[in-house]
Amino acid sequence: MKVAPSILSADFGKLGEEVESICEAGADYVHVDVMDGHFVPNLTIGPVVIQAAAKAASKPLDIHLMVQNNPFFVDLFAPLKPAFISFHIEEEKHPHRLIQKIRDYGIRPALTLNPHTPESAIEYLLEDVDMVLLMSVNPGFGGQKFIPKVLEKAARLKELIIKRNPACLIEVDGGVSDQNIDALKSAGVDVVVAGSFVFGSADRAAAIASLK
Ligand code: DX5
Ligand code: ZN
Share of the chain above pLDDT 90, in %: 100
**What mean pLDDT do residues 194-207 have?**
98
Task: Give me the number of domains the chain comprises.
Answer: 1
pLDDT tens profile 58-113: 999 999 999 999 999 999 999 999 999 999 999 999 999 999 999 999 999 999 99
9 lines ligand 1 (CB under 6 A): yes
Write the single-letter amino acid at 53: A
Q: What number does the ligand 1 atom closest to the CA of 144 have?
A: 14
Cα–Cα distance, 88 to 8 (Å, whole number): 18
- Ligand 1 centre from 76 Cα, in Å? 22
Q: Return phi, psi of residue 200, to 5°.
A: -85, -5
Nearest CA to 111 among 134, 81, 87, 93? 87
Nearest CA to 137 among 190, 207, 192? 192
Residue 168: which domain range? 2-211
**Predicted pLDDT at 9:** 98
Pocket test for ligand 1, best of 9, 34, 137 (most atoms within 8 A of CB): 137
CATH number at residue 47: 3.20.20.70
Say what the pTM is: 0.98
**Predicted pLDDT at 203:** 98
Nearest CA to 110 among 151, 56, 66, 174? 66
